Structure 1
């Protein structure tokens, strides 16, 4: 059995260097790290006294909230699509 290769990349998140390893592409891992870094910086602007741990947890909570909202919207759109496909098309015949 052939083992899948993991990609490795060094990223900077909020001034700290981390090595990420995973099956995702390097570009995807950079994008994810950038999202986390951006969210931490956004939260730090409004809450400059937060320590790193609290900042990281708040960033994770905010990202999870965004994810769950988007997933709910996606599921609602799928239901709308399914309903629209179930309706008979307004076809006329002579």
Structure 2
């Protein structure tokens, strides 16, 4: 069995306490929680009529959109790099 260390960290996201567990460093877990908390706070402050579920879903959609855009940019960069290493790209 692997000797993988599981880290636990208590965080507060949009006023609710959670315990996150994962193999990532606690600083990473805190950073992820802070990102979600910040986005939920921003969304709820501009849309006060939304309940918590809608705020959470809209946050998830915004984060998924950001992820998809970053994946696309990453693939474009890999393609450019591949073109340069094969000599197909212009300077």
Question: Normalising by the residue count of structure 2, what TM-score does the alignment of the two structures yield?
Answer: 0.90
Aligned equivalents of 1:37, 1:84: Cα separation in 2:
40
Structure 1 residue runs of 4 or more that deviate by more than 6 Å after TM superposition: none
Aligned equivalents of 2:19, 2:59: Cα separation in 1:
19
Map of 2:43 onto structure 1 = 43
Segments of 5+ residues of structure 1 without an aligned counterpart are 89-94
Match of 2:11, SS state, is: strand
Query: Structure 1 residues 27-36 or 40-49, which shifts more?
Result: 40-49
Aligned equivalents of 1:13, 1:29: Cα separation in 2:
12
Match of 2:30, SS state, is: helix
Match of 1:67, SS state, is: helix
Aligned equivalents of 1:13, 1:68: Cα separation in 2:
23
Q: How many aligned positions are there?
A: 88
Aligned counterparts, 1:10-89, within 5 A? 10-87=10-87
Map of 1:92 onto structure 2 = none
Segments of 5+ residues of structure 2 without an aligned counterpart are none
